[in-house]
Chains A and B, each alone.
Chain A
Amino acid sequence: MHIAEGYLPPLHAAAWTVVAAPFVVHGARAVVRQVRDNPESKLLLGAAGAFTFVLSALKIPSVTGSCSHPTGTGLGAVLFRPPVMALLGTIVLFFQATLLAHGGLTTLGANAFSMAVVGPWVAYGVYRLVRSVGGGLGLGVFFAAALGDLATYCVTSAQLALAFPDATSGVLGSVLKFGSIFAVTQIPLAVSEGLLTVLVVRLLVRVSPAELERLGLLKRPSEPTEVTA
């Protein structure tokens, strides 16, 4: 989903930067508030950011015979809500743009919008939807991570289609063309990311249930039982 440096016309690059910037600034404030109000969640916040760091570094082969990488933003979005991931995801993209020549500074806005804004929001929305219709934690997390991942690549396809509409079939034809490159390749990867995120959440439930209760993923024991000494 990394649009390469210089591969969006200046007008598009500027527009996406303007669109993404408020989300990232809002995200930075959300991170500061999270750390200030819940200092004990600092470590898990770091781990959620690190999860994105790992997954977005892994180029994974797909059934289309090409490689792509998961995004890892669904976990943090479900744990800490999407604004936090707007900042963390953008930091990852910035690292890759400056040190790895992967993505770019001119395309940072567009890439941040797809991976750090839309992906996490879709993940969070899907998670809430699944939980509200009675789905369990695992099911909610799976669809959140998988569809958040897929949504990121759909946005990238649309961004490129808007910048490079097909000569004959227009923007729509171009969406299909870039979609076949990105979105189709991404389907098995999205499933992998979903399963992996479920695994991580299951481990979190085991080792730090109190933390998940505080974040609202697990219900607190229904009766406020007195802490017997």
Chain B
Amino acid sequence: MTRSTLLNWLLLVAVVVLVAFPVVFVDGEFAGSDGQAEEAITESHPDYEPWFAPLYEPPSGEIESGLFALQAALGAGVVGYYFGVVRTKRRLGADRPAEAGRSADGVGPETADD
């Protein structure tokens, strides 16, 4: 493994540790901070009435978490697609340097990429 690859893995491990640390060592309810802010408002300004309600609300926590998972999955899919495409492009390009050189004067078959 090269040093660069090792550093990448270390970065990933550091992120996982940072995320896992509180769950393991901190005693808390792990409520969302957005919700806590709402509570703080209700506490300090008990007479405040939210004047607008969400047009659509996920009917249950399960459905809500499903939609969040969908959001993350869509995003991760696109990011993964990008890396797949550029990696493949690079590989195909690197595999045929000689051919690419030969066809520099004309239009070789591989210049018509995509």
Which chain A residues have a beta carbon within 8 Å of chain B's beta carbons? 1-7, 9-10, 43-44, 46-47, 49-68, 95-102, 104-106, 156, 160, 164, 166-167, 174, 177-178, 181-182, 185-186, 188, 191-192, 195-196, 198-200, 202-203, 206-208, 211, 228-229
Q: How far is the CA of A108 from the CA of B7 in the complex (A)?
A: 39
Question: Judging by beta carbons under 8 Å apart, are B30 and A67 in contact?
Answer: yes
Question: Judging by beta carbons under 8 Å apart, are A177 and B71 in contact?
Answer: no
Which chain B residues have a beta carbon within 8 Å of chain A's beta carbons? 4, 7-8, 11-12, 14-15, 18-19, 21-23, 26-34, 36-38, 40-41, 44-45, 48, 50-58, 64, 67-69, 71-72, 74-79, 81-83, 85-87, 90, 101, 104-105
Q: How far is the CA of A161 from the CA of B8 in the complex (A)?
A: 40
Q: A5-B53, A188-B22 are in contact. List 10 more A-B contacts (CB 8 A).
A: A9-B51, A52-B75, A54-B79, A100-B68, A104-B54, A167-B44, A195-B11, A195-B14, A195-B18, A211-B86
Question: Judging by beta carbons under 8 Å apart, are A57 and B28 in contact?
Answer: no
Q: Is the interface of B mostly helix, strand, loop or mixed?
A: helix
Question: Judging by beta carbons under 8 Å apart, are B72 and A58 in contact?
Answer: yes
Question: Judging by beta carbons under 8 Å apart, are A101 and B56 in contact?
Answer: yes
Question: Judging by beta carbons under 8 Å apart, are A160 and B37 in contact?
Answer: yes
Residues from chain B with Cβ under 8 Å of A55 in the complex: 75
A6-B79 contact, Cβ under 8 Å, with A65-B26, A66-B36, A229-B104: no
Residues from chain A with Cβ under 8 Å of B71 in the complex: 53-54, 56-57, 95-96, 100
Q: A220: shortest Cβ distance to chain B, in Å?
A: 18
**6 pairs of A and B residues whose beta carbons are closest in the complex:** A65-B28, A6-B50, A53-B75, A54-B75, A50-B78, A229-B104
Question: Judging by beta carbons under 8 Å apart, are B19 and A192 in contact?
Answer: yes
Contacts A/B (CB < 8 Å), 24 sampled: A1-B34, A3-B37, A43-B86, A44-B82, A47-B83, A50-B79, A53-B71, A53-B78, A54-B71, A58-B72, A60-B19, A63-B22, A64-B28, A66-B30, A100-B67, A100-B71, A101-B57, A104-B54, A186-B33, A188-B22, A199-B15, A202-B7, A203-B8, A211-B86
Q: B100: shortest Cβ distance to chain A, in Å?
A: 8
Question: Judging by beta carbons under 8 Å apart, are B44 and A97 in contact?
Answer: no
The one of A6, A58, A102 that contacts B53, using a Cβ cutoff of 8 Å: A6
Question: Judging by beta carbons under 8 Å apart, are A160 and B41 in contact?
Answer: yes
